[in-house]
Amino acid sequence: MQNISTRLINAGRDESELPIRTINPPLHRASTVLFDSYADMLKANHGQFEGIEYGTCGMAAQKAFETAMAELEGAHGCRAFQSGIAAIAMVLMAYTEQGDHILICDNVYGPTRRFCDEFLSKYGVETEFLPSASGADIRNHIRDNTRLVFMESPGSNTFEIQDIPAITAVCREKGVVSVIDNTWATPLYLNPFELGVDVSIQSATKYITGHSDILLGTVSVNEKYWAPFNKCCRLFEAFASQEDCYQALRGLRTLKVRLRQHEQSALEIARWLSSHEMVESVIHPALENHPQHELWKRDFKGSSGLFAFTLKDEFEELDHSVFVDSLNLFGLGYSWGGYKSLLTGGRFKRTNSFGYEGKTIFRLNIGLEDSEDLKADLEQGLNRLAEYVAS
């Protein structure tokens, strides 16, 4: 019998992997992955080992989630990251180098803009912000050193739509990589690769995981642009939590039914708000009066549960507390895509003029509560604001 210190290490370890067949992938916890032979280790030493050689390569749950995403989006490959913004940062680093110029749509997620302004600039990459509703006119912004065009459609908070196929046609012609943050539509309601996009990003934090308890991002890439991206991921040894990838796979299984419910309730509430006397505009791409509604209808298969509205009277910013703080069903917090309804509000800045300068935009994440209850909650909140203003 071996000594207790050796038995402590090996007791209960089964090298033979019991063939338990579950529907879902196993969850591994690993830094070290054991090689079958010294020959395999030597291959790994030389970067020639085909299998998983270390924890940073990702385990079964991550591989399954990445494979599922690539398959659903029709991409060549997919990689998962610890957050949406980590996914975005990796894309921007993978395709740019010192002296490059990149074009970013003005309505991108705030931290995406910050990454360009405050990080890429340190490495000599120049960012130019395009009008949010850009299309074929991006041609006029392309320079000899333009490497990448980044779209987000509809964009954060102001929901402008870009003419994606017009932009990707120019990118193709000029040899520029086209990227889209497709978080709002998910792969269900927009397929970027069908529209000629090279790289599609998801903040899986939102609808894919759907329960406001996970941070996760994905990047899916076509065959042409896969190699440089994959190389950058390997250099960073980027990976995602196996537990989170497991939950994201679960999320995919129910995405369609959840999204349909978010879509229906959001449309109902958006239409109701449109007819409310205190509301100035409802910003929702599926409403006929949205400035790029026709583009949305042409390219998208549906709408999700996130949209915004503005009020007619411009109150002092803090006066809005009367409305917001009286809401019972809308949580006040960042992020979206979860089952609980949320509200955010604020005034936004853009590089180009955008029509909502100095205007407070309230953004609603419509969750899975009953839409009549949500309307009633908004109604009582707006009534309180009206009473407050009148008094």
Contact positions toward ligand PLP, by CB under 6 A? 83-85, 109, 152, 156, 181, 183, 203, 205, 215, 217, 335
Our CB check for ligand PLP shows the closer of 248 and 327 to be 248
Least CB distance to ligand PLP at residue 14 (A): 37
Least CB distance to ligand PLP at residue 317 (A): 23
Least CB distance to ligand PLP at residue 214 (A): 9
Least CB distance to ligand PLP at residue 161 (A): 14
Our CB check for ligand PLP shows the closer of 168 and 205 to be 205
Our CB check for ligand PLP shows the closer of 114 and 253 to be 114
Our CB check for ligand PLP shows the closer of 183 and 265 to be 183
Supply 310's token pair. Answer: 């503005």
Our CB check for ligand PLP shows the closer of 62 and 183 to be 183
Our CB check for ligand PLP shows the closer of 77 and 217 to be 217
Our CB check for ligand PLP shows the closer of 215 and 270 to be 215
Least CB distance to ligand PLP at residue 152 (A): 6
The closest residue (CB) to ligand PLP is 84
Least CB distance to ligand PLP at residue 171 (A): 20
Query: In DSSP terms, which residues pair with 181 in a beta bridge?
Result: 152, 201
Least CB distance to ligand PLP at residue 352 (A): 19
